[in-house]
Amino acid sequence: MTKKISWLSFMAVFLFLLNSCVHDEIYSASASEEYHSKSLWKEDEIYIKNIIKIYEENENEIRKEHGAPLWEYAMTMDKFDESYLVVPVRRNGRIV
């Protein structure tokens, strides 16, 4: 009897935690169009925002040819005194 109760309580806690994880992702999404980084590292936010401004000027051409960039996953790299920006791109529901 105690095994069954402990097993049921364990399953209830596990399902509650699993449900919490799913809803955490849903509720943490921002309602605004403003850029929010999901990167685990500290990124150069000013550089990324400047690139976004340049992208917005040519958005239609870039989107037709390559797809939609996922700015919240953008990462910056500084190598050899130059800055690089890596942005995943989604086209037709797939990351390319």
pLDDT tens figures, 43-95: 778 888 888 899 999 889 888 889 999 888 888 887 766 678 888 999 888 88
Task: Read off φ and ψ for residue 37, nearest 5 degrees.
Answer: -75, 135
Q: How confident is the model at residue 31 (pLDDT cuts 50, 70, 90)?
A: very low
- The four Cα atoms 75, 79, 84, 89 give a dihedral, to 10 degrees, of -50
Domain ranges of the chain: 1-31, 32-96
